Amino acid sequence: MRKWFIPVALLAAHLATAQNQAPVTEPVKTKAPTNWFNLDYSADKIRGVSSEKAYELVKKRKSSPVIVGVIDSGIDINHEDLKSKIWTNPKEIAGNGKDDDNNGYVDDVHGWSFLGNKDGQNVDKEGLELTREYGKYKKLFEGKAEADIPADQKDAFTYYQELKIAYNEKAQESKMMLPLIENLLKSYTEAGATLKEYLKKDTVTAEDVAKIDKTTADGKLKRAIAAYERGFQMGYNEKELQEAYDHYKTEAEVQLNPDYNARQTIIGDNPEDTKDHNYGNNDVIGPDARHGTHVAGIIGADRNNDLGMKGVADNVKILVVRAVPDGDERDKDVANAIRYAVDNGAQIINMSFGKAYSPQKEAVDEAVKYAESKNVLLVHAAGNESQNTDVEPNFPNRKLKSGSEPNNWIEVGALSWEPNKVANFSNYGKKGVDLFSPGVALYSTVPGSKYEELDGTSMASPVVAGVAALVKSYFPKITAAQLRQLLIESTVKFPEQQVNQPGGEGQVAFGELSNSGGEVNAYNAVKLALEWEKAGKIK
C-alpha cells in the first residue's frame, strides 16, 4: 500500500478542537534542510547518513554499476534527474511487440508492471487486504451462528470474526475522518481566499499573516487569520488537506468497499493463483508514479547533473517493477515482482510498501528465499502505523511461515532531522526492525521533472538501499548477507539515548526500537568495508 498519511499533528489538533480540548501536539518549529539525508552530523550538525563524506573514502577507487530493483507504484523514467539512471534490458528490442529475450514479458525494456493488461490498461486503485479478506469470508459465514459451523471450518470462522471486528473499526474511523477533513479543508480554503484578497497576493506566508493588524480586522478576517495561524503552527497547508481529503475519500469509496474489484475488470486473472507469472504490461510509469519516482530519486538521482537533488548512490541503474497500487498490493504481484527483479539482474531490491494481512504469504516467502539464493539484498520499509511490528506484523517481512529468517533482509524505521527524534509515524520493533534512517521531509524527484518533500518509512527504506548500492558499487564482491551485516554493524549507535515514543507520549531508549539501536551511516559502512577488505573478509 502506498502509505500516504495525514500528519498526526493535524488530526490531533482538529479532533481536539472538535471536542473543545487543547491540542496535544507540539507546533512545528523548524524546517528540514534540503538534502539533509546526505549530510554528516560532525560537519553539518544534521544527522544524515554522511554520503558526501563516504565518497571521500573511495575517491581513488573505481565503481561498478549496481542494478537496484524498485518495486513500487511506477517511476517517471523520463524525469530529468532519473532518465540517465534507468535500467535498460540489453536483450530486448524496444517497441517490436516481441519477447526478444524469451522471459515471458513482451517489450520489458525498462522493467515490468504486474498491474496492467496487454491492451495498456492499468489498475490504479485497490482495496485493502483487510477488505478483500473480509469480503471473501463474509460470503462464507455471514448470518451463520458458531454452533452451525462444521469442525473443519472453525478456524476460518474465528478468522472471519476477527476480520469483521477489524473491518468495522476501520470503517468507523474512516466514516468519522472524512467529514472532519472535508470541513477543515473547506474552512481553510475559505480562509485562504479571504487572506489572498486582503493581501492582494497569490501565496500567503506566516510572515504575511503576522503583519496583519488584528485590531482593525473584521470578524471574517480574524477567523481567516486564526485558521491560517493554526495551520502554520500544526504544520499543514491547503495542498496537504486536499491530499488528506482525497485519501479518506478513496479509502471510503474504494479501499473499504468489498465489492470493488478493478483487478478482475482490467487484468482478469485469479489473484490467488500464485503460480501464474505471465501477465501485466510494460507500462512502468502507470497512472500515478509519484511515490515510486520519489523513492527512486532518493536511491540514485543523478549526482553530477546540477539538477534538483542528489541520490545517495552514484552508480546505479534503477530497474522498475510496478506492483503497488493506491491500496494494498497483492501477494501474487509482490512475489512475481521480486522474482522478476532478481531474474533481470537486480542486486538490491527496495520495497517501500506493506500491509496488515498476507493471505498468500507462502508465495512471498518463496520469492524471498529465491532472492536469498541469488545473493540479492531486500530492503523493506517498516510501515507508518506507529506500531510495534514484533506484536502487530507488517507484511511482507523476513519472518517466514516456516519459522526461519533469511539473511538478505533489512527492515527500516524512520528518523526526523530534528535531534534525537524518531518519526512519530514510524513502526518499530526490538526484533523486527534492524535500523533507522532519514524519513521525514526528504526532498526528492516526483513526476514531470519536479521535486517535493515527502515523509514515510517509504522514504527511509530507499536511503538504506542507496547506501547499500554505494557500498556494493565500490566493493562488488560483498555478498547480500555481508552487506546486511555491514550496514547494521556500521550504524551510528546511540541505544541509551532517550527519544520520543512513536505514536505516543513520553520517551523511550532508542535501543528499544530496533535490534541495532542505530542509524544507517554511509561513511561508517564504507570505512568498515575497507577494513573487511583488508582483513580478507570481502574476497
First to last CA, the chain: 39
Alpha helices by DSSP H, 200-289? 206-210, 219-234, 238-250, 262-266
Q: What pLDDT was estimated at residue 6?
A: 40
Indicate which residue of 72, 124, 283, 314 is catalytic.
72
Indicate which residue of 51, 444, 458, 461 is catalytic.
458
Catalytic site includes residue 72: yes
- Torsion 416-420-424-430 (CA) sign: positive
The widest CA-to-CA distance across the chain, in whole angstroms, is 76
Phi/psi at 148 (5° precision):
-90, 0
Q: What is the CATH code of the structural domain delimited by 32-125+270-534?
A: 3.40.50.200
Q: What pLDDT was estimated at residue 147?
A: 92
| Cell numbers placing 378 | 531486500
Taking phi first (over 0 means left), then psi (-120 to 50 degrees means alpha), and beta for anything else, what does residue 63 get?
A: beta
Q: What is the pTM of this model?
A: 0.93
Each domain of the chain, given as residue ranges in start order, spans 32-125+270-534, 130-255
Q: For Cα atoms 77, 78, 79, give the angle at the middle one, nearest 5 degrees.
A: 95
| Positions in the chain whose pLDDT score sits under 70 | 1-30
Find the helix or strand (DSSP H, E) in which 319 lies.
strand 316-322
> SS3 of 83, please?
helix
Whole-angstrom Cα distance, residue 202 to residue 331?
Answer: 46
Indicate which residue of 14, 110, 247, 291 is catalytic.
291
Catalytic site includes residue 291: yes
Q: What pLDDT was estimated at residue 8?
A: 38
Q: What pLDDT was estimated at residue 31?
A: 83
8 A C-beta contact, residue 354 and residue 393: no
Q: Which residue, 344, 417, 405, 410, is CA-closest to 377?
A: 410
| Cell numbers placing 492 | 551510528
Q: For Cα atoms 14, 15, 19, give the angle at the middle one, nearest 5 degrees.
A: 115
With the CA atoms of 511, 516, 518 and 522 taken in that order, what torsion angle do they form, in degrees rounded to the nearest 10? Answer: 180
Q: How many CB atoms lie within 10 A of CB 495?
A: 14
Q: Which residue, 481, 285, 489, 476, is CA-closest to 374?
A: 481
